[in-house]
Amino acid sequence: MVVDDDADLRASLSQMLTLAGYEVSEALDGAEALRALSREFAGPIVSDIRMPGVDGIELLEAVCDMDPELPVILLTGHGDVAMAVDALKSGAWDFLTKPFDPHELEGAVSRAADKRRLVMENRQLKAMAGKGARTSPIIGHSAAIEQVRQTLAALAPTPIDLLIEGESGTGKELAARVLHHDSRNSRRFVVLPCAGITDAMAQDRLFAPDGPIADAQGGTLFIDDLHRAGPLLQSRLAEFAETRQLGTLDRDQALSVACRVITTVAHRDDLAKIDPALLYRVSSMRITLPPLRERREDIPLLLTHFLGEAAQKHGREPIQPDRSTLDWATGHRWPGNVRELENLAERMILGLETSLGVGEQTHTLPERLEAFERNQIIATLAASGGSVAKTIERLGIPRKTFYYKANKLGIDPAQFRGD
């Protein structure tokens, strides 16, 4: 917005900024400007200091009261420099002394617009994270994660057993707990980690009438990493899955356990490691959790959410990720998936993460440039839903150059498409 009582100067400034690619609105004084402003205004504001009625300083004060993060650039005459310096201390973004170079104005507006854009994006992400936390612990707005939420909601009221497939860190236990909670079940959620169960435990304690499986009575038995269970444990679990009984061989004395059984595997290939009789009984329904690299559009929302949680957990001031952090995060491969992202957020809040992409940082200039190019292409592909046409338009490079760089940097556009 350009605010100036001089119609000719106002029109000149508007034309200059319009030619620079900005959508410009005008106001002839501070009062008119304030009537058009709100916390949702995209900004920034370019205002003369000396105007009748509500002048530039009064406009600045009112804007700071309404939204301290809305940038105001003041235009001053030589005699107003001291006043403008005081205004900077009071919250003005910048000031330019008349007459000024048009490029100087464009630079100031560009920096202020970038800052405002980041502020508005962070507010939106924070609002979306809050909304997601209120409606479901499974955060994200991608089509893949929305499908997961819909499937869990449909299964929640039923007693159907479920097998969840997903890489380490994708949130398999979280999905199981959501299913347990949404079923309005007030009974226990019992976790059985197959990797830590010995044959001795499988033979005796585990299946005793007073053992951990019995604790799942009326609730949910969560069997994690079923493919890591030994033959004996798989055999006992298959028997339990069929009879839902524990204890002696005498069925009249056995303890019946009514519970939902939820099992997990890391990869589809792991299904071959499970006894077919057991697999048949525990996988009447299956659901697959996508790895984080296949839902990159959720990363800014997740990072903002985890930063807020970590700040609250450690009693620290919350921080908002800047554009470079979000670009890096969107382009990172995330082999540890959501858990790795959550750990990063905690390190950032504790001040332990001073250089993003540790282990990926390079030292020579060509290597640093290549890493930058790769992150930019990946981030733009993610934002464009894998569309090459939109990506090359946003990056401003020829199609041939895009494919050359994508091939050189090992980037497959198909990985970013939702279908």
| The predicted structure's pLDDT at residue 126 | 65
- How far apart CA 337 and CA 333 sit, in angstroms, is 8
Cross-strand partners of 74: 47, 95
Cβ-based neighbours of 46, under 8 Å, separated by 6 or more: 1, 2, 3, 13, 17, 73, 75, 105, 109
Q: Give the CATH fold of the 362-419 domain.
A: Arc Repressor Mutant, subunit A (1.10.10)
Q: 113: which 2 tokens?
A: 């617009």
Q: What's the gap between Cα 59 and its chain centre? A: 36
| The predicted structure's pLDDT at residue 363 | 40
Q: For 289-334, what is each residue's pLDDT tens digit?
A: 999 999 998 998 899 889 988 988 888 888 878 777 888 888 888 9
79 pLDDT more than 80:
no
34 pLDDT more than 80:
yes
Supply the DSSP string of 138-180, one letter for each residue: S---SHHHHHHHHHHHHHTTS---EEEE--TTS-HHHHHHHHH
User: 164 or 357: which carries more pLDDT confidence?
Assistant: 164
User: 262 or 399: which carries more pLDDT confidence?
Assistant: 262
Q: 132: which 2 tokens?
A: 């997601």
3-state secondary structure of 261: strand
Which of 121-125, 324-328, 359-363, 401-405 holds the top average pLDDT? Answer: 401-405
0.75 surpassed by pTM: no
CATH class for domain 293-356? Answer: mainly alpha
- Amino acid identity for residue 398 in this structure: P
Q: For 341-394, what is each residue's pLDDT tens digit?
A: 999 998 888 887 655 543 344 345 565 567 667 777 887 887 788 888 888 888
Q: Do domains 143-290 and 293-356 have the same CATH topology?
A: no
CATH class for domain 2-129? Answer: alpha beta
- How far apart CA 115 and CA 237 sit, in angstroms, is 57
User: 177 or 107: which carries more pLDDT confidence?
Assistant: 177
Question: Sorting pLDDT into bands at 50, 70 and 90, what band is 210?
Answer: confident
Supply the DSSP string of 39-101, one letter for each residue: TT----EEEES--SSS-HHHHHHHHHHH-TTS-EEEEE-GGGHHHHHHHHHTT--EEEESS--
| 344: enclosing H helix or E strand | helix 337-349
* Pairing mode, strands 72-76 and 45-48: parallel
Domain boundaries, given as residue ranges, for the chain: 2-129, 143-290, 293-356, 362-419
CATH architecture of the domain formed by 143-290: 3-Layer(aba) Sandwich (3.40)
Mean pLDDT check: name the lowest of 77-81, 116-120, 164-168, 412-416.
77-81
Question: Sorting pLDDT into bands at 50, 70 and 90, what band is 418?
Answer: low
